A and B are shown apart, each in its own frame.
Chain A
């Protein structure tokens, strides 16, 4: 026999943000834009959308003529009170919903969305939360979508919090929000951006392409001594690896929030 856990000893460190209530909405595709060779940006008009925090996601439901339905979750690339909701969808090789959204959907199409969802993997300006710790974002591939929403919200709010993004991506062609990131880097509340190319780097790039390793991670993130809040998003393998290294490097596990894009 020994001490039992108490609610106090193990309570999660952060209280949830107040976020809008979720619900089903009819969305109309306003515009599509080829984001990368494998991904499409989709702008949705969602009347009645209650707004969303940066980092939240939604469910998309598609219905076939015979009534068959398929539902998948996607991170939201936009935030704030607007009823224009932006997604950026990566095509999965054996996917059922993502190939439709990436290759077939066009302006005027209607689909159903449920959201906004998730109150944990979210960021709000320091003016709202009182949290002034630096923010380190770490993205693997399409995992950049909710982190882009955070970086954009940070610039929109001219938030004084130091903001840094480490973005691991296969090739220069696979970078999401390329032009937008260039703007965010030069914003009044700047984003410090570090890109790591895993397969092919731009010509003259200082480092050879390759998977990010622990030393490179350490060099490109706020040190643990600065007590950053860290948001990591990407495939399960990427997130597991990065989060383990961060803990080894002395980051407080309670300051690391993760979103894992798994399987199907």
Chain B
């Protein structure tokens, strides 16, 4: 249905294959948050996976003793910006789920500050997601989700819950915070699953 808008030429001619449709390349790191940035001290930080049968928790020291991955990835925000070749360090969800038994297929990520986002479990495993605590060689800034955030780079970045504190297994998919407030239940940038 698109038509030419009179007088618009644009300047982004060098189209990069790594950019999903409707995205614009940025070099800075814009922020999307719904409220104040919560202050979370690593002394008080805890990460928990809760299943239908019980819970697995790690404090900061236990978490840092896990196998740590270097991650080099592109990230795509629903507000139309993408950032290519970002460098993170974090713990793979494969590592965190090693000893977790669950029959449930869906995950609700919960954050300090009260926010939630839903992701199917199979989209968090097999090297597709991390709990990241370092960006570009530095501890993750609070405004970007520090001390630790979920990193699910193949989905729009609101799925990469900032200030993450835990995952709760669900037997069916339910919308999280942004998903209830207008964003797509799944959020694949290559299919432009932005809004419902």
CB within 8 Å for A246 and B36 given contacts A65-B9, A118-B182, A119-B181: yes
Per the CB 8 Å criterion, the residue count for chain A at the interface is: 59
Count A-B pairs with CB separation below 8 Å: 171
Q: Is B30 a contact partner of A72 (Cβ separation < 8 A)?
A: no
Kindly state whether residue B191 has any CB partner on chain A within 8 Å.
no
Within 8 A of B (CB), among A123-165: none
Q: Is B180 a contact partner of A10 (Cβ separation < 8 A)?
A: no
Q: Residues of A contacting B95 with CB < 8 Å?
A: none
What is the predominant secondary structure among interface residues of chain A facing chain B? mixed
Nearest Cβ on chain B to A120's Cβ, whole angstroms: 4
Q: Is B36 a contact partner of A258 (Cβ separation < 8 A)?
A: yes
Kindly state whether residue B65 has any CB partner on chain A within 8 Å.
no
| Residue ID in chain B nearest A246 by CB atoms | B36
| Residue ID in chain B nearest A25 by CB atoms | B1
Q: Residues of B contacting A174 with CB < 8 Å?
A: none
Within 8 A of B (CB), among A242-259: 243-244, 246-247, 253-254, 256-258
Question: 1/0 contact trace for A35-65 toward B, CB 8 Å?
Answer: 0000000000000000000000001011111
Q: Is A72 a contact partner of B5 (Cβ separation < 8 A)?
A: no
Given A12, A240, A264, which contacts B114 in the complex, CB threshold below 8 Å? Answer: A12
Nearest Cβ on chain A to B148's Cβ, whole angstroms: 14
Q: Residues of B contacting A61 with CB < 8 Å?
A: 2, 22
Q: Is A5 a contact partner of B195 (Cβ separation < 8 A)?
A: no
Kindly state whether residue B140 has any CB partner on chain A within 8 Å.
no
Within 8 A of A (CB), among B86-121: 108, 110-111, 113-116
User: How many B residues are at the interface, by size bracket?
Assistant: 35 or more
Q: Is A64 a contact partner of B57 (Cβ separation < 8 A)?
A: no
A2 to B50, CA, bound (A): 11
Kindly state whether residue A109 has any CB partner on chain B within 8 Å.
yes
What is the predominant secondary structure among interface residues of chain B facing chain A? loop
Given A68, A117, A121, which contacts B34 in the complex, CB threshold below 8 Å? Answer: A121
| Residue ID in chain A nearest B176 by CB atoms | A12
Q: Is B80 a contact partner of A243 (Cβ separation < 8 A)?
A: no
A119 to B29, CA, bound (A): 24
Kindly state whether residue A236 has any CB partner on chain B within 8 Å.
yes
Of the stretches A16-24, A189-197, A210-218, the one at the interface is A16-24
Kindly state whether residue B41 has any CB partner on chain A within 8 Å.
no
Q: Is A264 a contact partner of B30 (Cβ separation < 8 A)?
A: yes
Q: Is A73 a contact partner of B79 (Cβ separation < 8 A)?
A: yes
Q: Is A240 a contact partner of B9 (Cβ separation < 8 A)?
A: no
Nearest Cβ on chain A to B167's Cβ, whole angstroms: 9
Q: Is A111 a contact partner of B5 (Cβ separation < 8 A)?
A: yes
Q: Is A64 a contact partner of B10 (Cβ separation < 8 A)?
A: yes
Given A19, A24, A244, A247, which contacts B1 in the complex, CB threshold below 8 Å? Answer: A24
Q: Is B10 a contact partner of A70 (Cβ separation < 8 A)?
A: yes
Q: Residues of B contacting A100 with CB < 8 Å?
A: 7-8
Kindly state whether residue A262 has any CB partner on chain B within 8 Å.
yes
Question: 1/0 contact trace for B1-21 toward A, CB 8 Å?
Answer: 111111111111101000000
Q: Please list the residues of chain A having a beta carbon within 8 angstroms of any beta carbon in chain B.
A: 1-7, 10-13, 15-16, 19, 21-22, 24, 26, 59, 61-65, 68-73, 96, 100, 104-105, 109-112, 114, 117-121, 236, 240, 243-244, 246-247, 253-254, 256-258, 260, 262-264
Apart from A4-B166, A236-B31, what 7 extra A-B contacts exist at CB < 8 Å?
Answer: A1-B55, A10-B165, A64-B8, A70-B8, A120-B182, A263-B29, A264-B26
Q: List 14 A-B contacts (CB under 8 A).
A: A2-B48, A63-B5, A68-B13, A68-B15, A69-B10, A109-B5, A109-B6, A110-B5, A117-B182, A118-B181, A119-B182, A240-B37, A260-B30, A260-B31
